[in-house]
Amino acid sequence: MITYLLGLVFGWHAAFGGGEPPVHWTASYVDGVGSHVLEAWRQPDHVRRITDRTLELDAVQPRGEGFRFAINDRERPMTFYGNQHDRVMQGSFDDWQRWTHVIAPTSPRALVFALDRPVQITPAGRCRWFSDAGSEICWSRSLALPLVIRAAGKDVYIVTSAEPLRGELPAFAPAGSEVVRDDD
């Protein structure tokens, strides 16, 4: 009941806030293209993600600055570099949130509502169910991640394993040709 009331009063960030605790996780998800496998590492101000063993993202967000990122496309082999300004100019405003926490608010005043369900036990840990703009999200407060996302009655994102990250993130190495945005 308290979580539900906090959600009404404080909105999305009250339910899904909690910082960026260091974590390593694997997940499977389904989108319009098909099924995918994700492996990710997160520390405060740094995230690495590898999707389908082909697309590799490395992003950093130094305190007080916008984020910078590199994406390796191992199929072509190319590495793309960019920053937060580039993404905003392309119409993407929530990349950092999605990269580090998988989900982002659907609007500046987004509300989530706690669902009256018992705590869920998953292979990656415990989570509590919330409703957010047509999706159901089983949120792990200790990991600051959704362990399950359900849309239209189907599980579309499932964390298959998660553990606290100890030590450094795996090294990022550019792959093939490098493409950097040119301001000229």
Joined tokens for residue 85: 């300004």
Q: How confident is the model at residue 9, as a pLDDT?
A: 41
Residue 70 belongs to some domain of the structure: yes
Residue 77 belongs to some domain of the structure: yes
Measure the CA angle with vertex 84, ends 83 and 86; round to 5°: 70
How many independent structural domains does the chain possess?
Answer: 1
Structural domain range at position 43: 2-166
Q: How confident is the model at residue 31, as a pLDDT?
A: 92
Range in 41-55, 69-83, 149-163, 166-180 with the lowest mean pLDDT: 166-180
Residue 182 belongs to some domain of the structure: no
Joined tokens for residue 161: 């394993």
Residue 73 belongs to some domain of the structure: yes
The values of phi and psi at residue 93, to 5°, are -110, -10
pLDDT grade for 8, boundaries at 50, 70 and 90: very low
What is the per-residue DSSP string for 56-96?
EEEEE--TTS--EEEEEETTTTEEEEEEHHHHHHTT---HH
Residue 17 belongs to some domain of the structure: yes
Average of pLDDT values for 68-73? 92
Residue 180 belongs to some domain of the structure: no
Mean pLDDT score of the chain: 87
Residue 181 belongs to some domain of the structure: no
Residue 144 belongs to some domain of the structure: yes
Instruction: Note the pLDDT tens digit of each residue in 96-113.
Output: 888 899 988 887 788 888
pLDDT grade for 173, boundaries at 50, 70 and 90: confident
CA dihedral 4→92→86→84, nearest 10 degrees, is: 10
Domain of residue 89, CATH code: 2.50.20
Average of pLDDT values for 45-72? 92
